[in-house]
Amino acid sequence: MRARLIPAGLLLAFAAGCGDEATHVNDDRPAPAINVTASIVDGELNVAPTRFGAGPVRFLVTNQTPEAVTLTFETAGSAAGTTARSPAVAPDSVATMQVDPEEGDYELSASDGQIEPVEITVGAPRPSGQDRLLEP
């Protein structure tokens, strides 16, 4: 039995040494995601904060109205760009929406046309999370 394991072990060690010898760039991690709250209360959309740096963003949305609402995050103005939609947020419920915006001006609007959209300004990219411990 031992005689069979030695050739198998040598073959495995030889195969492990074979492979691509090209090097790769070790890119930094992206910035850690931040949480931005959005609430729909009494026909008004409230967002905090409305200014933050570019990078992953998680919108935590609460709907305190009697109707289901969908939020849309999109580039402001007529320029082509980012568009993301939340799932329908049921009355008295919460949902999340994740986006990764670049620097620029955006608008967060509700599917209810009577609710005024909120302008959001995304600044320079936030620093990498490369050297931060215990973060996803």
Looking up residue 109, the CATH number of its domain turns out to be 2.60.40.420
Give per-residue pLDDT as tens, 50-100. Answer: 999 999 999 999 999 999 999 999 998 776 677 899 999 999 999 999 999
Is 78 a domain residue?
yes
Q: What is the pLDDT of residue 35?
A: 96
Residue type, 29: R
C-alpha 88/C-alpha 86 separation (Å) is 6
C-alpha 66/C-alpha 1 separation (Å) is 74
Is 13 a domain residue?
no
Tell me the pTM. 0.75
- Classified as helix, coil or strand, 121 is strand
9, pLDDT greater than 90: no
Mean pLDDT, the chain, whole residue set: 85
Confidence of residue 26 (pLDDT cuts 50, 70, 90): confident
Is 135 a domain residue?
no
> Which residue range is the domain that position 112 belongs to?
34-125
Q: What is the pLDDT of residue 45?
A: 96
Residue type, 28: D
The residue whose two tokens read 């329908």 is 88
Is 44 a domain residue?
yes
Order of all β-strands in the sheet with 71-75: 51-54, 118-125, 104-110, 71-75, 83-85
- What length is written for the chain? 136
Q: Higher model confidence: residue 28 or residue 97?
A: 97
Asked whether 31 and 56 are in contact (CB, 8 A), the reply is: yes
Give per-residue pLDDT as tens, 73-87. Answer: 999 877 667 789 999
Q: What is the pLDDT of residue 122?
A: 95
Tally of domains within the chain: 1
Confidence of residue 13 (pLDDT cuts 50, 70, 90): low
